[in-house]
Amino acid sequence: MNYSLRTFKGDFFGGLTAGIVALPLALAFGVASGFGAVAGLYGAIAVGFFAALFGGTPTQVSGPTGPMSVIFAAAIVAFPGESSAVLAVVLIAGIMQIIFGLIKVGVFVRYIPYPVISGFMSGIGVIIILIQLHPLLGAGSVGSPLEAVLQLPGAISNMNIYSVILAAVTMAIVFFTPPKISSIIPSPLLALVGGSLLAVVFNFPVASIGEIPSGLPDFSIPTFSPILLPKIIPMALALAVLGVMDSLLTSVVADSMTKTKHNSNKELVGQGIGNIAASLVGGLPGAGATMRTVINIKGGGSTRVSGITHSVFLLAILLGLGRYAALIPLPVLAGILMKVGIDILDYRLLRMVQRVPKQDFGVMVTVFIITVFVDLIVAVGVGVTLASLMITYRISSQSKIDVKGVPHHEWHRDLEKRLEEETDYGIRTLSVMGAFFFGTTAKMQEQVSKLIGTKVVIVNCLDVPFMDLSGYFALSEMIDRLKYEKIKPIVVVNENVGIRKQMMDMGYGNLLGPDGIQTDYNDALHLAWEYLEDLRES
245-254, pLDDT tens digit by residue?
888 877 877 8
Average pLDDT over residues 303-326: 84
Which of 5-19, 44-58, 383-397 ranks highest by mean pLDDT? 44-58
C-alpha separations of 326 from 217, 335, 529 in Å: 17, 17, 89
End-to-end CA, the chain: 78
pLDDT band at 471 (very low <50, low <70, confident <90, very high): confident
pLDDT, position 99: 95
- Would the pTM of this model clear 0.75, i.e. be above it? no
Helical H segments across 321-465, by residue range: 322-325, 330-344, 347-351, 358-373, 376-398, 413-421, 441-448
Cα separation, 48 vs 256, in Å, equals 21
pLDDT, position 411: 46
The secondary structure of 256-302, three-state, reads HHHCCCCCHHHHHHHHHHHHHHHHHCCCCCCEECHHHHHHHHHCCCC
Q: Break the chain into its structural domains and give their ranges.
A: 5-344, 399-537
Average pLDDT over residues 480-486: 84
Q: Select the more confidently predicted residue: 109 or 224.
A: 224
pLDDT, position 306: 92
355 has a pLDDT exceeding 60 = yes
Q: Select the more confidently predicted residue: 355 or 334.
A: 334
pLDDT, position 446: 66
Mean pLDDT of the chain: 81
- Quick one: how far is CA 211 from the chain centroid? 36
Give one DSSP letter per residue of 146-211, joined into a string.
HHHHHHHHHHHHT--HHHHHHHHHHHHHHHH--HHHHTTS-HHHHHHHHHHHHHHHTT----B---
Average pLDDT over residues 225-230: 88
183 has a pLDDT exceeding 50 = yes
Residue 375: Cβ-neighbour burial (10 angstroms; 0-12, 13-18, 19+): middle
pLDDT band at 87 (very low <50, low <70, confident <90, very high): very high
Residue 513 region, left (φ>0) first, then alpha (ψ -120 to 50), else beta?
Answer: left
412 has a pLDDT exceeding 60 = no
Nearest to 212 by CA among 23, 1, 2, 479: 23
390 has a pLDDT exceeding 90 = no
Cα separation, 207 vs 349, in Å, equals 37
Topology of domain 399-537, CATH:
Transcription Regulator spoIIAA (3.30.750)
Those residues with Cβ within 8 angstroms of residue 358's Cβ, 6 or more apart along the chain or in another chain: none
Average pLDDT over residues 85-110: 89
Q: Are 146 and 373 in contact (CB under 8 A)?
A: yes
pLDDT, position 421: 46
Q: Are 27 and 20 in contact (CB under 8 A)?
A: no
